[in-house]
Each structure stands twice: as C-alpha cells, then as structure tokens.
Amino acid sequence: MSFRAPSRPSGCRDFRRSNRISRRQVLQAGSLSALGLGLGDLESRLALAQQSGDILPTRRAKACIFLFMWGGPSQLDTFDLKPDAPSEVRGSFRPISTKVPGTQICEHFTGLASMTDKVAIIRSLTHDDPAHLSSGHATLTGQPAPVLKSDADPPSAKDSPHLGALVSKLRPTTNGLPPFVAMPWKAYHPAAPGGEAPGQHGGWLGSAYDGMLLHGDLNDPNWHPQGLSLPADIGIGRLESRLELLKTMDAQRAMLHRSLGASSYGNHQSRAMEMIGSSSVRSAFDLTRESDATRKRYGRNVHGQCVLMARRLVEHGVPLVSVNWHNDGKNFWDTHGDNFNRLKNDLIPPADQALSALLTDLEDRGLLDETIVAWVGEFGRKPQITAANAGREHWPFCYSGLLAGGGIRPGMVYGSSDQHGAYPASDPVTPQDFATTILHAMGLPTQTALLDRQQRPHRITSGRVLHDLLV
C-alpha cells in the first residue's frame, strides 16, 4: 500500500504574512522620535501599545530559553505519533502515556513523559517553506525570510532581527551581562549553498544587536568563553584604565558617526571589556561552579552543557538565550536517512535529558514561572518513510513544538493534525504566531514598530498571539 499525503484542507489559510505596517503605525513610530523617546524605551512603547489596543499580559516572563532543533525533527516520531496509520507512515516507535491523561508522546522521551504537566505541546505548526535556511529565519525571527524557499541565500542586513535582538532593543540589560546570548554556533548546513541560516543576528536593527556567541564544545574541560579572560600581563587595574580610555573614544566616535551607526564596533569592544572586568559577569559564564551531579543530570555532552549554561545565564539576568542544536557532523535533526536509529541513539536522548533537567531545575529554583522554554525546529518530516534508507524528507506543512513556563498554560495540547500528521486538522499555528506569542508573554508590545538604520519602520511581529496557550 503506497502512501499519498492528503491535500491541504480547504479551511487552512495562507500562512505567509507581511510585516508591513499601517500609516497610523508609521506615525506612531515617528511620534516617539519626535518626542525624544528612545526606540528602546520599553515603558514608552508599553504606553503606546496600550493606546493601539495591544493588551499585554498581567504576568510577564522575564526571560526565554529558545532551544532550536536545527534540521527539522519528525513530528511523527516525537510528539504526534500515529499508531493507527499505515506502517510506511507510523514507523517503528511506539507512543507512551504521560503525566497528562490522554496525552501520548514517543517512547524515547522517557524524561519528558513524566513532565508533560509542565509543558504545552503544539501539534499544528505549519508553513509552506521546505528550505532549511529561509524557514530557519522564520523560526528564529518570527518573520518571513527576505528570500523565501531558499537554501542559497545567506544572512544579510535585510534579515529580520533574531528574537534575541528584539529583546535586546526593547529590554536592554543594566547588569553588565548581554541581553542576548546564542550558543554553541551559528546554525549552518553543509548541504545548503547559502551555508549559515539567516535571521541569527541583529538584521535590519544593526550589528549592535547581534548578541553574544558562545562558541565551541561547552562539555570540553578546557572550554572557556572567548573574550572573557584577561591576558597574563594585564591586571584588573590596567584593564580599568583601558576601559576609561575606550569610553572616551566611543563618546567622541558616537558624536561624529551617530547618524551612520558607525560606533557599533566600539560599543561591542566597550561592553566586552566591561564584562571582562566584572567578576559577577565572569561567574555567570563559569560552568565549573555547577556540581558534577548537576552537570551529569543535564548530560555531559555539547547540548546538555549548553542548556545548563542557558539556565545559569537567565538566572543571572540574561533575558534571551538561544541554544542551537550543535554541529554533530551528521546533519543534525535532518534525518533524510536512518531516521529511526538517529533519533533513538543520537538525537532524542540528549534532547530529552537536557529539557527534563532544565524544567526541573527552573521549577526547583522558582524560575519556571518567569522563564519561557521553547523547543522547536524549522519544520517537520514527511509522513511517508523513504523505503530505500528509512529516512524522512522535509515537510513544513505540519510539525510539532513545545512551550513551557513563563505564563504558558501547562499540561495542554494545542492544535491537532490529520490522521497521517500531514496537515493541521485544527488550530493551525505559523512560526510568526509562535514567536509573537513568546514576545507577548514576555510583556513586549507586539503591535509596535521599530526603525531600521535607514529610519524605516518595521512591525516587530507579523503573527497573532495564541491566547489559549496563555494562563
């Protein structure tokens, strides 16, 4: 019996959205500048958001840990199994019961199965872009890529800002820590002509909002964050003198180049030196302060230690940390071949262990209610298994993701898919909706606009808030 995916249900809408804004919103954005209010002034924007009807939540998350499962996890083999589907669709994994009665997930998510009362499972994520790079942009920014359905277009200044860059702009930190940290690399696909996925930096906001990248294997005993240690011949006193000189130079440079935004590099240098000079900042990035038992609980592997670092950073006051699935040398979650062995042996175990440890740790520390945890890839996998190599091809039309903490309603399943996991059967959710809901739960005004470097206004979101997912 051969599988044929059913056609898209007639009730499903076109999921591409534009971030074009109305004339009224342009005037509103301009009025902030005319009044001398900085575009990063969150309180001013909150007031404007309320005037424009953007009802913000009373319970606002302080931080978000965004776990990006680069490559595209199979919905049919993770959180939306179809045990009654034909064998060429359902595969070899079995569903197991979970903490929430009536909710089943894959048998290999043994840790998460006992914690589903803390998460919301979304089974109706959907879009129509099968390319890694452009759909990665949509996932990380909540906006369509400048070039759709493309694996050939690398990052550019036309990209929308990463969610972390938006948080940096609207909720800058004052504790010496960066507001946006990503690790352990910029997501890159060797089979994509464009290489690095767009949407992982400041985009049209500018390089000042690129965020900090923690690169490398955080499980390596010799790993340390680059740029946060002093050369042997430079003490703290000498560093402070250099920092004061740099601040003076930055102020002069800003006066000369303010309109061109040419001081971004100097600002990065200044912040880096301030971070080096702060013992509390250096402590936040020091994994050796965690017990061996805690590090083992997260998993002594790249992903587990990145997730542990993410918990440390939000605990110290970083509002957004993005953990990209690391370069495992095997094409990540892009399981075109050997799907089931890859998932069972290499992908699900470390992902399940780290996520379970994170949820437990955040709850034990009283941080789960104020920290959103997102777990999602850029798309799903095709229902039909490729017989020749037991793989699954790209499938953006229906896939699954998770949200937890930070005002997300726990213990629920949002949306559903059809009998083969091919298309949403109810409550379709776009990447734009997913991102907009996160920003809304963080108390950011999703209907407002920001100006790019050419002073052109852009809506910061183009999706809708999924209010049923919120407490």
Across 434-452, average pLDDT? 96
Asked whether 61 and 321 are in contact (CB, 8 A), the reply is no
- Classify residue 155 as left (phi > 0), alpha (psi -120 to 50) or beta: beta
42-51 vs 23-34: helix crossing angle, rounded to 10: 140
Lookup: tokens for 403? 């949200």
Write down the pLDDT at residue 226: 80
Q: What is the DSSP letter of 421?
A: S
pLDDT of 298-316, one tens digit each? 999 999 999 999 999 999 9
pLDDT reading at 69 higher than 90: yes
d(CA 322, CA 374): 9
* Mean pLDDT score, 241-245: 59
Q: Write down the pLDDT at residue 41.
A: 54
Q: How far apart are the first and last CA of the chain?
A: 45
pLDDT score of 37: 37
Per-residue pLDDT tens for 139-150?
A: 999 999 999 999
Mean pLDDT of 432-440: 98
Q: What single letter denotes the amino acid at residue 457?
A: P
Can you give the pLDDT at residue 36?
Answer: 32
Q: Decide if pLDDT at 236 tops 60.
A: no
What percent of the chain clears pLDDT 70, i.e. is strictly above it?
Answer: 77
Nearest in space to 112 (alpha carbons), one of 368, 369, 359 = 359
Q: What is the pLDDT of residues 270-294, one digit of tens each?
A: 565 566 667 789 899 999 999 999 9
Structure tokens at 120: 């919301």
C-alpha span between 236 and 230 (Å, rounded): 8
Answer yes or no: are the C-beta atoms of 368 and 60 closer than 8 Å: no
- In this structure, are residues 335 and 348 in contact, taking their beta carbons and an 8 Å threshold? no
Name, in order, each residue with C-beta under 8 angstroms of 173's C-beta and a sequence gap of 6 or more. Answer: 179, 317, 318, 319
Q: Give the SS3 label for residue 82.
A: coil
What is the model's pLDDT at position 31? 37
Instruction: Tell which phi-psi region holds residue 149, choosing left (phi > 0), alpha (psi between -120 and 50) or beta.
Output: left
DSSP secondary structure of 96-147: EE-SSTT-EEETT-HHHHTTGGGEEEEEEE--S---HHHHHHHHHHSS--SS
The average pLDDT across 237-256 equals: 59
Tell me what the pLDDT averaged over the chain comes to: 87
- pLDDT tens, position by position, 93-135: 999 999 999 999 999 999 999 999 999 999 999 999 999 999 9
Q: What is the pLDDT of residue 27?
A: 42
pLDDT of residue 279: 79
Q: Is the pLDDT of residue 55 over 90?
A: no
> What average pLDDT score do residues 245-269 get?
54
Among 58-67, 353-362, 434-443, which stretch is predicted with the lowest mean pLDDT? 58-67
Closest among 160, 141, 167 to 319, alpha carbons compared:
167
Nearest to 403 by CA among 438, 370, 445: 438
* pLDDT for the residue numbered 267: 55
For residue 252, pLDDT beyond 90: no
pLDDT exceeds cutoff 90 at 366 = yes
> Which pLDDT value is given to residue 32?
41
Residues 6+ apart with CB under 8 A from 342: 330, 335
pLDDT of residue 280: 81
- For residue 439, the 8-state DSSP code is H
Separation between Cα atoms, residue 217 and residue 303, nearest integer Å: 9
Give me the pLDDT at residue 191, please.
95
According to the model, what pLDDT value does residue 302 have? 98
Asked if residues 93 and 81 have their Cβ atoms less than 8 Å apart, the reply is yes
Q: How many CB atoms lie within 10 A of CB 207?
A: 16
